[in-house]
Amino acid sequence: MSKYTTLYQHGTLALLVPGLLSGTLTMGDLLKHGDTGIGTGEGLDGELIILDGKPYQVDSDGNVNEVSNSFNMPFANSHFAKYSPLAELEDVSQDYFEEQIISLTHASNTFFSVKVTGSFSNVKTRAVKKSVPPFQTLAETAKNQSIFTRDHVEGTLISYYSPKLFDGAAVGGCHNHFLSDDHTFGGHLLDFHLDKGDVSYQLFDTLEQHLPIDNKAYMDHDFSKDNITDDIHNAEG
Amino acid sequence: MSKYTTLYQHGTLALLVPGLLSGTLTMGDLLKHGDTGIGTGEGLDGELIILDGKPYQVDSDGNVNEVSNSFNMPFANSHFAKYSPLAELEDVSQDYFEEQIISLTHASNTFFSVKVTGSFSNVKTRAVKKSVPPFQTLAETAKNQSIFTRDHVEGTLISYYSPKLFDGAAVGGCHNHFLSDDHTFGGHLLDFHLDKGDVSYQLFDTLEQHLPIDNKAYMDHDFSKDNITDDIHNAEG
């Protein structure tokens, strides 16, 4: 397993659906598996982005906070960055982003990451408010989300693409988080329009899928009654 | 990632469905990820089982062959064995095996392996005949299978359990291969009745899913039209 061709994932999107929102991995441990990543905190505590080894959280007040090594997460991705240039893109909206990326990478049957740095004419993000036990379902918890918009912002988009076959474990398709260069704005991307940006990519041949087997609630849960893929795409789309 | 808590998987069951049967990993490379495993050869060339670091193939004539390091596979699992005793079971048929194992391990939400050594009153296996390019679909290729039965046989069963969420990538539920102690009989298990056996198990917290990203046919394939889970369970059930 090569360091630069492995995507690490802790937890699954599926476990968020019924509200298994306990933190089961620390940021310190996540950083052992990469210097770049995305995730969410215990109780869906904000939206995380890791850039150059530094983790940031966008909370539901819209603040961008540095994240300590003891911060706990139910779900996260990370990898060691070694991006290659893919394209310089202009005038692309989120609706066409995935299509263009797939067309350029020709890699829809494997996992990969895309990084975009540039100028965005409009960015719309969300961050969920942290909930406390007893946790509700993903659909209920995600209702307590804040939506933020900003025009004319310079920043970095980190995207992880997963093949449709892994929908449920991951988000099939692109999962995009954002952080502005001035570290005052970011979150889970709901919509954006890229004016001009440098797009780079990194293909993975390996998904290292880690599961929280020491968490009793996870091991005890009966997933057969959860409407996993619909709920994920409603909440994460 | 701990050596003994990781299940390695090369390829997916899904890629076999449309007939992406080229060998994309050598046995030598598979053995770097484990001393115990199962798999199939290029063109569905027989059924593989690895015990104590030694790989065996049951071919469609029913012969048990040793496998060279250069042997190529489209799909395989391996792990480093460190099984713990689970139970001594008597008088169990395949229909109740998975249910009993789940009840004993309480681990249906993670990957694990089960090893059974003992006396079987009846064992029914199959091995597919190797096909050559241009490969047909899994359903077509698997029609050229031989079915073998043996009564009163001592042997070893290796099972890999995958959570239903990963159905398609793996076989959701148990995937069982068999080899007799005298190395004259084995294959993919279709049915069995265990008289008496020692059952041991090994839990994994990590799936290391490796994909054949250097295989053009794999990367080019449009999986959206394949009826993946139905075809897998018809062929692998």
Residue A167 forms contact with B (CB below 8 Å): no
Residue B213 forms contact with A (CB below 8 Å): yes
DSSP A30-55: HHTT-SEEEEE-TTT-SEEEEETTEE
CB A206 within 8 A of CB B6: no
List the structure tokens of B85. Answer: 């005793």
Q: What is the pLDDT of residues A113-125, one digit of tens each?
A: 999 999 999 999 9
Residue A87's pLDDT band, with cuts at 50, 70 and 90, is very high
CB B8 within 8 A of CB B208: yes
Residue A16 in 3-state DSSP? helix
List the structure tokens of A49. Answer: 């982005």
Nearest-angstrom CA–CA distance, B12 and B236:
13
Residue B232, pLDDT > 90, answer no
Nearest-angstrom CA–CA distance, A216 and A204:
31
Nearest-angstrom CA–CA distance, A16 and A22:
9
Residue B104 forms contact with A (CB below 8 Å): no
Architecture per CATH, A3-236: 2-Layer Sandwich (3.30)
Residue A160 in 3-state DSSP? strand
Q: What is the mean pLDDT of residues B137-158?
A: 96
CB B48 within 8 A of CB B41: yes
Tell me which residues of chain A, numbers 50 to 69, contact chain B at a CB-CB cutoff of 8 Å: none
Residue B1's pLDDT band, with cuts at 50, 70 and 90, is low
Which ranges constitute the DSSP H helices of chain A?
A: 13-16, 27-31, 94-105, 138-141, 216-220, 228-236
Unique residue bearing structure tokens 């540095």: A66
Residue B237's pLDDT band, with cuts at 50, 70 and 90, is low
CB A174 within 8 A of CB A168: no
Residue B149's pLDDT band, with cuts at 50, 70 and 90, is very high
The interface pTM score, or ipTM, of the predicted complex is 0.97
Residue A231's pLDDT band, with cuts at 50, 70 and 90, is confident
Residue A235's pLDDT band, with cuts at 50, 70 and 90, is confident
CA dihedral sign, ordered A44, A49, A53, A56: negative
User: Which of B184, A25, B176 lies closest to A8 in space, CA to CA?
Assistant: A25
Interface contact flag, B1 A208, Cβ < 8 Å: yes
List the structure tokens of B210. Answer: 């490796």
- CA distances to A5, A83, A88, A192, B11 from A121, rounded to whole Å, are 33, 24, 16, 8, 41
Domain ranges of chain B: 3-236
Q: What is the pLDDT of residues B58-109, one digit of tens each?
A: 999 999 999 999 999 999 999 999 999 999 999 999 989 999 999 999 999 9
What is the average pLDDT value for chain B, to the nearest integer?
A: 96
Q: What is the mean pLDDT of residues B203-209?
A: 98
Query: How many angstroms separate the CA of residue B5 from the nearest CA in chain A?
Result: 10
Q: What is the mean pLDDT of residues B11-27?
A: 97
| pTM of the complete model | 0.97
Q: What is the mean pLDDT of residues A162-180?
A: 95
Residue in A1, A165, A202 to test binding to B, most B beta-carbons within 10 Å: A165
